[in-house]
Structure 1
């Protein structure tokens, strides 16, 4: 069995293996994919908050895991903001087009 290496800075739904069935992606649509991606970004934020709280209360066993959780949340949020900026830019470009 072949193991897959996951990038900790990219949400899991964006790291799907190449063998994923294309009809499942088409079935859920853009809105479903967007909703799922935002849910994972939110979960990363919640995990980072919980890790920071545990660290502040002295319950965290490993400060490295806290920093990794915080960096994952930061990178996911930055990626989300950049995607949003590109979508808004594309919408503005289409709205300026003359028909």
Structure 2
């Protein structure tokens, strides 16, 4: 349930995952262009691949922290 006009957590997570997918798609498309010889600047691919890798690492870190928090809350109730 949203409070105070702010964006709810679920919407923020969904938006983050959409951005992650977009970064992965961009890197994949540029990799195909590089493999077929249609990419004029290899730096574009390297930048996109690095951004996608960092976004994936961030998503995994956020997931791990959320699981740790959930497990801690569950231990508190026992």
Please say whether Structure 1 and Structure 2 have the same fold, judged by a TM-score greater than 0.5: yes
1:36-65 Cα shifts (integer Å, max 9, x gaps): 000000100000000000000000010001
1:64 maps to what in 2? 43
Separation in 1 of the partners of 2:57 and 2:21? 12
Residues 1-99 of structure 1 mapped to structure 2, 5 A cutoff: 23=5, 26=6, 28-98=7-77
Separation in 2 of the partners of 1:31 and 1:98? 24
Which structure is richer in relative contact order (CA contacts within 8 A, separation 6 or more)? 1
Q: TM-score w.r.t. structure 1 length? A: 0.72
RMSD: 1.3
Q: Structure 2: which 5+ runs fail to align?
A: none
* Structure (1 or 2) with the greater helix fraction: 2
Which contiguous aligned blocks of 4+ residues in structure 1 show a shift greater than 6 angstroms?
none
The DSSP-based 3-state class of the residue aligned with 1:60 is coil
Q: Structure 1: which 5+ runs fail to align?
A: 1-21
